[in-house]
Amino acid sequence: MHFQFRKMASTDGPVELHEALDVRHVAKDRKDITRISPLQADLKAVYLGDNEVHVQGNLSTELDMTCSRCLKPLKKQIGIGFEERFKYSENAEDVQNEEDDIRYIAEDDVDLVPFIEEDLLLNLPFAAICKDDCKGLCPTCGTDLNERECGCDREVVDPRLAALKDFFKQ
């Protein structure tokens, strides 16, 4: 998924970019993401003048994940609004400053994939749950507490309170 500044400058109107990207490596360190569908990128590039290009559109994919509480498989739809401004500059590294949100690029050809992957990485769900009130697994015996109550004593006692309890026993 590329555009070229020079080509954009000589094109009338926006350029549509559509592609399905293999993004499996983006989530390779995430054990709770078991599969990631090709990411559909539907973008529109507009030349703003003065070597500047605005790219905007939508990214969408589907993740197969495991519930962070009960480990059941679940699917998660991801939709991300993509928006970046690119400006051609021969000394891109020098002019890049944190305060404006323009990406300075020293090449005529711009590969959008790294920017798309960065957005996806930032938008991966941190910990998915199968339902809001998922009760999870019993930490003692591993029973899925959505299915049945195992009867284990799971009361988590604050060590300071435990000491107090002992104190009152004396």
Q: Which stretch binds Zn ion (CB under 5 A): 30-38, 79-87, 95-103, 123-131?
A: 123-131
Q: How far is the CB of 155 from Zn ion (least distance, A)?
A: 12
Least separation in angstroms between CB 129 and Zn ion: 6
Q: Enter the tokens of residue 103.
A: 């990406």
Q: Which residue, 15 or 138, has its beta carbon nearer to Zn ion?
A: 138
Binding mask 50-69 for Zn ion (x = CB under 5 A): -----------------x-x
75 binds Zn ion (CB under 5 A): no
Q: By CB under 5 A, is residue 134 in contact with Zn ion?
A: yes
**Cβ-Cβ contacts under 8 Å for 153 (sequence gap 6 or more):** 140
Strands 15-21 and 109-111: unpaired
Cβ-based nearer residue to Zn ion, 152 or 162: 152
Give the CA dihedral 152, 157, 159, 160, nearest 10 degrees. Answer: -160
Looking only at the bridges linking them, the beta strands covering 73-88 and 102-105 are parallel
Q: Indicate whether 140 belongs to the interface with Zn ion (CB under 5 A).
A: yes
Q: Quick check: 150 binds Zn ion (CB under 5 A)?
A: yes
- For 112, 118, 156, the CA distances from 122, given in Å and listed in that order, are 16, 6, 34
Q: Which of 95, 106, 121, 152 binds Zn ion (CB under 5 A)?
A: 152
Q: 148 — phi, psi (to 5°)?
A: -160, 160
Residue 27 tokens, joined: 């989530």
Q: For binding to Zn ion (CB under 5 A), which residues are involved? A: 67, 69-70, 130, 134, 138, 140-141, 143, 150, 152
